[in-house]
Structure 1
Amino acid sequence: MVVPRFSIGAIPMIDSRTAPYAATLLRAALGILFLAHAGLKLFVFTPAGTAQFFASLGLPGPLAYLVILGETAGGLALILGIYSRIVALALTPILLGAIATVHGPAGFFFTNPNGGWEFLALWIVGLVALALVGDGAYALRPTPGGSGRRVTA
């Protein structure tokens, strides 16, 4: 299906030729961010250390393992283009939880002690934008019923 080309006067608002590639770039960048944060929890803080940190926040320690699994599986699914629109929305609560427990009380700016929530908010906007724009080009398993042009070669 071809994405319609909307315009104001002679200026196109969405370029249907490049939009699928933009979605793919966004999808890959978001997926890499999730893998990087999962790797931080796995290899730097360790899963046990991450669970202990979650417990210090008043969260169930085992939730840390689910977050690590979600970040890893979700990051890979985004990069590969496996139900990206659904995965993008499913990963949003992880970031909202990070804002609510750690980064929100630190203030807005990410340079604040304990890192503020501005980066996480931008990350959420990227996930929502991906869910709205579609899976993009080269998605291995596009979201069923999704719209947008699928580019396979």
Structure 2
Amino acid sequence: MSLPFQSDSLGKLTLRLSVGVLMLFHGVNKILNPASLDFISKQLTGMNLPQALAYGVYLGEVIAPLMIILGIYSRLGGLLVFGNMIFAIVLVHRSHLFTLTDHGGYGLELQAFFLLTGLAVFFLGSGRMAVKPD
């Protein structure tokens, strides 16, 4: 049954704006506080990975969200957010994989949100309401 207000394109736009805008806040914070890259660099070093990978956070938290928001290569943007969150979980949050918060929520709720919505954008694409529709 199709409802009169049902729209795949509007749903995709809502998804894109949700993940894109919320992730972009994290990226803007990294731009305004570049010292946060030191923490990421140390985590990478601890796993025998090159410190230069820390700059990938700008790709995953600034460029990718802008791609998603505007709908320009949004599938690639979604994949970049997904990859960014894999790195974040492995480098920083892996000890919380099987934890709950004091309120009963999943310990990695925010990370899971970004991981899965990035993946959803990858699978769904931008829809018609985009600068460059998929």
TM-score, with length taken from structure 1: 0.70
Larger Rg: 1
Shift of 1:36: 0.5
**In the aligned structure 2, how far is the partner of 1:23 from the partner of 1:104?**
30
- Residues 51 and 62, structure 1, Cα contact 8 Å, conserved in 2: no
2:10 partner amino acid: Y
Shift of 1:51: 2.4
Is residue 54 of structure 2 the alignment partner of residue 54 of structure 1?
no
Question: For each residue in 1:76-116, what CA deviation from the matched residue of structure 2 results, as whole angstroms up to 9, or x when unmatched?
Answer: 1111110112221132111011011111213445747xx94
Aligned pair partner of 2:19 in 24, 30, 34: 30
Is residue 28 of structure 2 the alignment partner of residue 42 of structure 1?
no
In the other structure, the counterpart of 1:123 is 114
- Runs of at least 4 residues of structure 1 off by over 3 A? 14-17, 107-112
Higher-helix-fraction structure: 2
TM-score, with length taken from structure 2: 0.78
Q: Secondary structure at the match of 1:62?
A: helix
Q: Secondary structure at the match of 2:55?
A: helix
In the other structure, the counterpart of 1:136 is 127
CA RMSD, Structure 1 to Structure 2 (Å): 2.6
**In the aligned structure 2, how far is the partner of 1:85 from the partner of 1:64?**
22
In the other structure, the counterpart of 2:58 is 68
